[in-house]
Chains A and B, each alone.
Chain A
Amino acid sequence: MKQNLVAEQRVMEEVKKAIAEGIDIDPAGIKAESSLMKDLGAESLDFLDINYRLEQTFGIKMARRTVIDHMEELFGEESAIDAEGKLTGKAAEVLGMRYDGYSAHIRAGMDMDELPVMVTVASIAEGVTSLLDTLPENCENCGAKNWALQEETLIACGGCGEPAAFTSGDDLIEEWLKQIQESKKIF
């Protein structure tokens, strides 16, 4: 369900903080539209560190694998990236649906190395928000409907204190891809 305990603005602030600490840069220079790799100089290892920081902050599990990885796992090798390392038409269509705001940059035949460049501060914040919005109605432990904040960003049960069990990032991507496939039969 859509949660309203952690405000979107707070999510953005925490994402900026995680990036600043993860790649050791001044938070003042980080904008919502900044590309982590192109504008902020992040490397692939840094993404994982940033994810880790966000997991600790919000009690969530960020996706370990990309949407591309999941597509190939579900629909077969080379369904998303062809033998030449280029994005397939089907994968471009799916990514265009997932990242509305960036669809102008996504095209079939683009090099797979260009994809991580499209990860922005805002896209990470959207990812965090979508995970927080998997908050269940009731606490899995005691059944209470009484979510409360602990330490400002961690959602836990107001009854028994159990941390909220959010859907993991990987499960969320997989569910979404299965829905898309069900309705559009792309692959």
Chain B
Amino acid sequence: MAENSFFTDKVALVTGSSRGIGRAIALAFAGAGADVVVNHSKPDGASKRKADEVCREIEELGRKALAVPADIASKASVGEMVEAVSSWRGRLDFLVLNAAKAPFKPIEKLLEREIRQLVETNYMGNIFCIQKSLPLLEAAGGRIVFISSLGSRFYNPSYPLGSMKAAMEAVVRDCTESLAERGVFANGVCGGIVKTDSFKTLRQYMEELEHIPDELCVSPQALAEVVVFLCSPAARGIRGQTVVVDNGLSNRLYRPAWVRKPKS
């Protein structure tokens, strides 16, 4: 993302940004000129190691970075995370709700604790993040961007997360209205097939995914740039929308995604 003076010295918090799409979003904000808070789930192990690496990459771009461990399913942890953001730079301009965690099973096989975990992380956790960040976002005239997936609107086998993505797209529509008077706006970005770590998991449940040609997969960077765009003044007229960024995959109805266009 090209540097833009609008982002200079502003602060973005990206949940779940030690890897995958979240990492790409964190780097895109840094590229645009913002300082970034890299949230990751666990205070030790690979989660921390990867978050520290992302912070180093952000610093190499000449921006400040802070890694904050927090499990968003815990309201108390989210509160501590926002406290850490506040005492770090005293402001928060952009909240990106990217973190997600879910079992891969058909809905009818979910155990009660798995359903609870699904809702606690992917619905309640995101709402905790919105609630706790609100005073800072309000002070900054901030933006919220939720990262959704095509599972919010299309069937995917063993992907109960899709139902939470759909719920959150409704939350985005809802809170962009209710927060407007406080100067905070929300939008979403609905990603198609992105070849990140989660994709490696997903392909075990959807063997068809292997046949989707690269031209119908979207890069984490392409998705990240739309997130940054939605936080920029150029997107000021977009509110409560979830923008599909999928390289055209969902535009295919009658032609299976893996059939290549004949060469003319």
Contacts and interface: CB of A to CB of B under 8 A. Distances in A.
Nearest to A23: B46
A127 interface: no
| Majority-rule SS of A interface residues | helix
A69 B158 CA distance: 15
Nearest to B18: A43
Interface residues of A, number: 20
B113 A52 contact: no
B45 A51 contact: no
Contact of B200 (A41, A52, A81, A85): A52
Interface string A10-26: 00000000000001000
Nearest to A112: B113
A52 B201 CA distance: 8
A32 to B, nearest CB: 20
A48 B201 CA distance: 6
A46 interface: yes
B105 interface: yes
Interface in B175-225: 197-198, 200-201, 203-205
Contacts of A49: 197, 200-201
A145 interface: no
A119 interface: no
Nearest to A45: B197
Contacts of B41: 43
Contact of B205 (A45, A64, A69): A64
A72 interface: yes
B104 interface: yes
B47 interface: yes
Interface in A42-88: 42-43, 45-46, 48-49, 51-52, 55, 64-65, 69, 72-73, 77, 81, 85
Given A65-B105, A77-B111, A41 B204 contact: no
A104 to B, nearest CB: 23
A48 B111 CA distance: 20
Given A41-B46, A43-B41, 20 more contacts: A37-B45, A41-B49, A42-B45, A42-B46, A43-B42, A43-B45, A43-B47, A45-B201, A46-B46, A46-B197, A48-B200, A48-B201, A49-B197, A49-B201, A52-B201, A55-B204, A64-B104, A65-B105, A69-B111, A81-B113
